[in-house]
Structure 1
Amino acid sequence: MTFRAAVAVIAAMALFSGCSGDAPAPKPVPTATVDPGEQWDTIDPDGAGFERSGLRKLDRLLAGNRSNCEVVTRDGKLVHEKYWRGSKADTKKPVFSVTKSFTSVLVGIAQDQGKLSLDDKASKYIPEWIGTPSEDVTIRNLLSNDSGRHWDFETDYIGMAARAVDKTAFAVGLKQDAEPGNVWHYNNSAIQTLAAVLRAATGQEPAAYAATHLFGPLGMSNTTWIPDRSLHTSTYAGISSTCLDLARFGLMTMRGGEWNGKRIVSETYLGEATGKSSTELNAAYGLLWWVNRSGTVLGALTATGSTNDENAYVGQLAPRAPDDAYWALGFGKQIISVVPSKGVVAVRMGTMPTDQTVISPNSFTGAVLDALK
């Protein structure tokens, strides 16, 4: 399903509507994390500390819920992979809002290179906002989704995502609803304005910048960033990839931004993006990444395409996962799950499950971790 078709579906629906004592001791889990070369190094599930029965249970969960692929890695080695519905290891599919987490890392790389700062006013790079109520919106506000930029469902998903030819121009031209830092919305249009910020700061289209500084170094050979109809980069969505390539991206972030001895993005930036809440308005949100901090939680269902009413609640995004877990999430339950304390990166891609509660950061990550010995 294309992104435009997916948005149309959302819009239509929304608008109209215990081990025995003599069991062998588990093998020790490897402690050294390696980076994949052109191909992933593989490790036997037992050697990686996984129960095969637990992985089979995970397979059944995903196979019965419209999944295309599943990858589980530990300490940089491929433990388990499965493919369904005609997909193969190199079958590219849209990742939808998982793209946002790539955009986050690009902003981090640009900051590391001295091309911008998170606390810069975005109007430094978007001159149309100078002298308007949007002048004081910072890059950090755009990454945190508390920019106060205009948001309503029809504008965001129909006007911008489905219809706008130049999505950046459309998003930049929207009005300011509130002062920065006062309201939280899962705001695709606000995030799309980061395309203008990155273009002005780096002198390149974000997709070209990613090819040089991210996809190439990580060996993500089956990943492309498809432009909008104006041939500009969509920073809220637009990447097509595979489970294995997404696992490379997740592993790089778990490694603190290093890959094969090369610094991709600073550990400091990743700590900001994935290691804590970016706003008290939503404890589950970092900088275009989802985190597992306790507090008011809002928006994860929206991120993965639910049309159910979504109310804020107090707790954690994934109670079955450790506090240090974090996620990239996209429409149709695309999930990159990263659990640094367990050395685990797991990916699920597919289309929307019939029961949307079956595949979530909590249930998917929990099922992966349940398979550990």
Structure 2
Amino acid sequence: MFRARTAALVAASLALAACTASGGSPREDEGTSGTRTTSSPSPAARGTTVPGADWDRTDAAAAGFDGAALRALDRRLEADGTSCFVVTRDGEVVHEAYFGDSTADSMGPTFSVTKSFTSLLVGIAADEGLLDLDDRASDYVSEWKGTPAARVTVRDLLANVSGRHWDFVSDYQQLALAARDKTAYAIGLTQDARPGRVWRYNNAAIQTLDEVLTKATGTKPAAYAREKLLDPLTMSRTFWGEDPSGNTTMFSGVNASCLDLARLGLLTMRDGRWGATQVVSEDYMGQATGRSSSPLNAAYGLLWWVNRKGPVLGALTATDPGADRQGGAATRKGGRLAPGAPADAFWALGLGKQVVAVVPSERIVAVRMGAAPQDPDALTPGAFTSDVLAALR
């Protein structure tokens, strides 16, 4: 459990970053190349039916769930500080619950779930030919030209293997709390290692994607997201914040409702397709959510968490940063992030156990938002996903 002082620092830091604003069985492949490495989802999972301004809803039993089991899960989630809990299957809401004064329209900070939004923006820009994942980031970040940072690629930033400077105080206090211009602060940090040598859950490195996307697209990422992602998905209860200098906060800045986060999950479950529109290419989604992006961390795609076998680093950092002051240096050398979940499962994760769980093989998206539970072992990606799947009949 956090020590109180650390918890207060992290919560205050990331809350500010989120809110300072003007605005058969899956088949495994242990490698880090290729597209999604599981058996193809059913036609329903890859289907074209999507929610309009509101979702279609169906009875939990008709969708294959035990309603009593879901209601029992509600009680446990409420006790753990949850504000909203949504389960969808085949693109329809099968269960939703709101606690306290939360409603279907309530928006809350998603914290590092924002990183997964950032991933999709980079994918869209790459699909449009505005950048390439293997471009040197210094093509867009002029301050890095002629420095050791010139070797860093866009892909390195997405995979958290950039080698950019990281320490706990810099990332969670100086960047998140003190820096008024978070992009300039992040760009100005040193290059500590050659790219590809070290995996770190590095907020500052991800913030530099603000400069990359701004230069590549000619517009602020928050505006680009509204045009290319949020409006096409009718995400009317989602707001992407900015720092006091007007930079889009790429590592922790999105506020959203549970139902809007379920839209994000549905898009990614369907390999970037929304109805008749390919919002993000299937190829990019395979790279982001269908495999590990680096042999250093089998559990990480491109700003999404995946369920590959191998060394597992940093998931605790995403939801409880103060519990891992090494930025993901601690590792489990084998297994998966969520051993009880299917191999094709993937997640967007944020501070305080914000979870968007996507299980293509079961055509399920499940979302939990709220306060951090008292028990740091509660609501891990694996536990939350397994609890939802256990309610299947």
TM-score between both structures, scaled by the size of structure 2: 0.87
Q: Which has the higher contact order (CA 8 A, sep 6+)?
A: 2
Deviations 1:182-230 (A, max 9, x none): 0000000000000000000000100000000000000000000011111
Match of 1:24 in 2: none
The one of 271, 275, 292 aligned to 2:286: 271
Query: Using the alignment, how far apart are the partners of 1:12 and 1:40 within structure 2?
Result: 34
8 Å CA contact 1:290, 1:327 repeated in 2: yes
Q: Secondary structure at the match of 1:347?
A: strand
Task: Give the alignment of 1:55-70 within 5 angstroms.
Answer: 55-70=70-85
Amino acid at match of 1:103: T
Match of 1:170 in 2: 185
Partner AA of 1:312 in structure 2: T
Name structure 2 gaps, 5 residues minimum: 14-41
Shift of 1:258: 1.1
Pairing 1:223-372 to 2, within 5 Å after superposition: 223-309=238-324, 311-313=330-332, 314-372=334-392
Q: Distance in 2 between matches of 1:6 and 1:77?
A: 40
For the residue of structure 2 that corresponds to 1:246, the secondary structure is helix
- Secondary structure at the counterpart of residue 315 of structure 1: coil
2:211 to 196, 200, 206: 196
CA distance in 2, matches of 1:88, 1:11: 23
- Distance in 2 between residues matched to 1:326 and 1:30, nearest whole Å: 19
CA distance in 2, matches of 1:339, 1:121: 33
Cα gap change, 1:205/1:37 in structure 2, threshold over 3 Å: closer, same or farther? same
Q: 1:68 to 1:182 in 2, by over 3 A?
A: same
Deviates further, 30-39 or 146-155: 30-39
| 2:50 equivalent in structure 1 | 35
Aligned counterparts of 2:240 and 2:318: Cα–Cα separation in 1:
19
- Taking the aligned partners of 2:306 and 2:126, their CA distance within structure 1 comes to 21
Work out whether residues 7 and 161 of structure 1, in 8 Å CA contact, stay in contact via their aligned partners in 2.
no
Which amino acid letter does the alignment assign opposite residue 320 of structure 1? G
Whether the aligned pair in 2 keeps the contact of 1:11 and 1:157 (CA below 8 Å) is no
1:113 corresponds to 2:132: no
Query: Cα deviation per residue 1:65-92 (whole Å; 9 max; x = unaligned)?
Result: 0000000000100000000121000011
Task: Give the match for residue 154 of structure 1.
Answer: 169
C-alpha distance after superposition, 1:4-28 (max 9, x if no partner): x998533899xxxxxxxxxxxxxxx
Show structure 1 runs of 4+ deviating over 4 A: 5-8
1:133 and 2:148 are equivalent in the alignment: yes
CA distance in 1 between partners of 2:317 and 2:78 (Å): 23
Of the candidates 98, 111, 132, which is equivalent to residue 83 of structure 1?
98
2:205 is the counterpart of 1:205: no
Q: CA deviation at 1:57?
A: 2.3
CA distance in 1, matches of 2:344, 2:389: 13
Distance 1:157 1:297 in 2: 22
Who is 1:16 aligned against?
A: none
Q: Deviations over 1:42-64 (max 9, x none)?
A: 01111100011221222122111
In the TM superposition, residue 361 of structure 1 has moved relative to its aligned partner by 0.4
Task: Provide structure 1 residue ranges, at least 5 long, that are not aligned to the other structure.
Answer: 14-28
Identity %: 57
Q: Report the secondary structure of 2:97's partner residue.
A: strand
